[in-house]
Amino acid sequence: MRRAIAEAEVGDDVFADDPTVRLLEEETARLLGKEAALFVPSGCMGNEIAVSVQTKRGDRIALAPHSHLVLVESRAVAEMMGRQFQILDSNDRGRLCGADVASVLERDADRPALLEAENTFNWHSGSVYSLSARRSVRPWRGTPRSTRRRARRLAESLSEISPFAIEPDDIGTNIVIARATREPERIGAFLDAAKRRGVLALAFGGPGAIRAITHLDVDDAGIERAAVTFREAAAETWGRTV
């Protein structure tokens, strides 16, 4: 990756003169079935651009509790951009139901200007919409891919380690969030013990919770190494783990 970055052909993106960025945008648009795509340096910037071009000051955005816009970007969206949030009920790990959305929109004379459906849903271990559920909220054109077998294996290994609690069936993509059910204040020591063994995870999602992410460069052997490391780190932190 570093070699590819160093050797990439570059140009002035302001004038659409960077062939590498143009190629990335064109390929992304093709994969997602869109007319065009725009490269931005961060996910937050992408979210806020999407909000700003589809709404105006004073408009409301309908979305699920614990959405990324609410938990991470609320000041930018509400204070700087002047938009408001309308929180919709969601009992399905952040996923909105088409019928519930329609009910809210039908009974509310002052309709929200934008419906935001987070996919994948970060704060619910990367829960993902099925294609039919996504279509029930809004028509979707794209090619869904399933990036979760190794993440599920990692979740299964964590579920076997005391004091962690996690439901492997909830893993929808490559995000794994587990929570220590006793002595959550020791989670920092656990993460340090794992880091010393070469495996990185984050304190994320509340007291005693950790987040681990799998990606294409983590193979099956890497998952098994992480599983062993987490078991050893838990034993060092909390004592006997099974």
Q: What is the pLDDT of residues 175-226, one digit of tens each?
A: 999 999 999 999 999 999 999 999 999 998 889 999 999 987 889 999 999 9
Q: Looking at the predicted structure, is the pLDDT value of residue 115 above 90?
A: no
Answer yes or no: are the C-beta atoms of 48 and 77 closer than 8 Å.
yes
CB-based burial label for 221 (10 Å; 0-12, 13-18, 19+): exposed
Residue 162 scores a pLDDT above 70: yes
In angstroms, the CA 98 to CA 27 distance is: 30
- Whether residue 151 has pLDDT greater than 90: yes
Q: Kindly report the length of the chain.
A: 242
pLDDT at 24 over 70: yes
Regarding beta strands 209-213 and 202-203, do their DSSP bridges make them parallel or antiparallel, or are they unpaired? antiparallel
Q: Give the C-alpha separation, 227 to 240, whole Å.
A: 16
Q: What pLDDT sits at residue 169? A: 87
DSSP state of 36: -
With b for 16 or more beta-carbon neighbours within 10 A and e for fewer, the 85-109 pattern comes to: bbebebeebbbbbeebbeebeeeee
Q: Which helix (H) or strand (E) holds 236?
A: helix 220-238
The pLDDT score that the predictor gives to residue 145 is 40
Band of pLDDT at residue 89, cut at 50, 70 and 90:
confident
Whole-angstrom distance, CA of residue 75 vs CA of residue 68: 12
The pLDDT of residue 159 is above 60: yes
Cis amide leading into 163 (omega within 30)? yes
pLDDT band at 65 (very low <50, low <70, confident <90, very high): confident
Label residue 141 by pLDDT band (50, 70, 90): very low
| Mean pLDDT estimate for the chain | 86
- Find out whether 116 and 72 touch, Cβ atoms under 8 Å: no
Whether the per-residue pLDDT at 19 is higher than 70: the answer is: yes
pLDDT confidence of residue 221: 94
Write the CA distances from 111 to 8, 20, 51, 122, integer angstroms. 46, 41, 16, 26
- Global pTM reads 0.60
